[in-house]
């Protein structure tokens, strides 16, 4: 039986040391972690709160990946911090029809036992929180720039839509022109232009440093861009992103209605090859963006 509170002195030292190194050597990285921390925790909190409203009981809520630094049990859910701050997750039992919840965990509190409306609300709540936060950040920046509240709200919503559309367009350009992208990556002279460029964490950290240096208004705009982009990417209907889970829940509901059979279940395990492909593409995108950014700095 695991302890109600868990603390790892070794991994906490590693995490704290990493933060101190960033603070001294690359403050922009520390600013980026701060921005992303708010975005990620808020995203996962949206999932968690919506899940509970739908009758689903989460069992884990963590900021970060990798080894645990600190965790605490509250009710049936374990909350905590892990050593790698570039992510986070909420664990919902029963995400697939055949997955096995922990011993004595009530089946009625699993994801698969919830209504389709509850599942859709749970999945979409995370990206929705990101988009709302982005609109608020853009709107607040507009107010600081002298706009009145009603106009600032319109500006905020327009900026969110611009980022969402630009993110979708950029992803499509990358996929549809992958050959030209790789040619630009392998061209050491830099004479071949990439059809689209994405910012690696190195470049994002540099932008974060510049945004903080320019003041609150620019920081809010940069935060809005990051938050809207995270929300938009998560809505892409490819596993394991949120958009895929929403598509499965909606497709299952439609199939049950059309066939008049409420026992129909879509087995998401069949999407595992596509999930691996999606993760591989995202990793390739991140690594190649990092290579290009480091090459530009050099």
**Which secondary-structure segment (H or E) carries 207?**
helix 201-214
DSSP track, 119-156: HHHHHHHHHHHHHHHHHHHHHHHHHHTT--HHHHHHHH
- For the beta sheet containing 77-91, the strands, ordered from the edge strand earlier in sequence to the opposite edge, are 5-7, 60-74, 77-91
Structure tokens at 268: 């998401």
**Which secondary-structure segment (H or E) carries 61?**
strand 60-74
Q: What is the pLDDT of residue 189?
A: 67
Among 9, 36, 10, 16, residue whose Cα is nearest residue 207: 36
CA dist., res. 239 & res. 277, Å (int): 9
pLDDT (tens digit per residue) in 45-77 = 999 999 999 999 999 999 999 999 999 999 889
CA dist., res. 236 & res. 234, Å (int): 6
Q: What is the pLDDT of residue 96?
A: 79
Structure tokens at 32: 């980026």
Per the document, the length of the chain is 298
* SS3 label, residue 101: coil
* SS3 label, residue 260: coil
Q: What is the pLDDT of residue 231?
A: 97
Q: What is the pLDDT of residue 208?
A: 97
The β-bridge relationship of strands 77-91 and 5-7 is unpaired
Q: Residue 104 class from Cβ within 10 Å (0-12 exposed, 13-18 middle, 19+ buried)?
A: exposed
Which residues of the chain are modeled with pLDDT < 70? 1-2, 188-191, 298
Q: What is the pLDDT of residue 289?
A: 92
Structure tokens at 43: 């995203």
CA dist., res. 212 & res. 228, Å (int): 18
Q: What is the pLDDT of residue 1?
A: 58
pLDDT (tens digit per residue) in 192-238 = 788 998 999 999 999 999 999 999 999 999 999 999 999 999 999 99
Among 107, 133, 85, 90, residue whose Cα is nearest residue 230: 133
């Amino acid at each position: 039986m695991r302890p109600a509170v868990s603390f790892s002195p070794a991994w906490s030292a590693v995490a704290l040391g990493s933060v101190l190194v960033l603070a001294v050597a690359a403050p922009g990285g520390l600013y980026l972690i701060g921005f992303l921390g708010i975005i990620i925790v808020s995203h996962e909190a949206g999932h968690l709160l919506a899940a509970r409203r739908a009758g689903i009981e989460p069992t884990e809520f963590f900021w970060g990946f990798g080894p645990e630094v600190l965790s605490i049990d509250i009710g049936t859910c374990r909350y905590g911090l892990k050593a790698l701050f570039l992510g986070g997750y909420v664990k919902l039992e029963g995400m697939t029809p055949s997955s096995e919840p922990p011993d004595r965990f009530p089946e009625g509190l699993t994801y698969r036992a919830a209504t389709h409306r509850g599942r859709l609300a749970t999945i979409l709540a995370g990206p929705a929180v990101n988009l709302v936060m982005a609109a608020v950040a853009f709107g607040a920046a507009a107010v600081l720039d002298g706009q009145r509240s009603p106009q600032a709200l319109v500006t905020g919503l327009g900026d969110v839509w611009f980022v969402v559309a630009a993110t979708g367009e950029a992803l499509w350009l990358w996929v549809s022109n992958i050959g030209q992208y790789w040619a630009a990556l392998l061209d050491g002279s830099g004479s071949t232009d990439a059809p689209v460029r994405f910012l690696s964490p190195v470049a994002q950290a540099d932008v974060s440093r510049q945004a903080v240096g320019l003041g609150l208004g620019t920081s809010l705009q940069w935060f809005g861009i990051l938050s809207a982009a995270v929300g938009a990417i998560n809505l892409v209907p490819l596993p394991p992103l949120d958009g895929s889970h929403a598509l499965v829940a909606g497709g299952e509901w439609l199939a049950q209605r059309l066939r008049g059979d409420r026992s129909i279940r879509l087995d998401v395990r069949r999407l595992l090859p596509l999930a691996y492909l999606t993760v591989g593409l995202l990793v390739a995108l991140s690594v190649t963006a990092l290579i290009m950014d480091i090459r530009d700095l050099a």
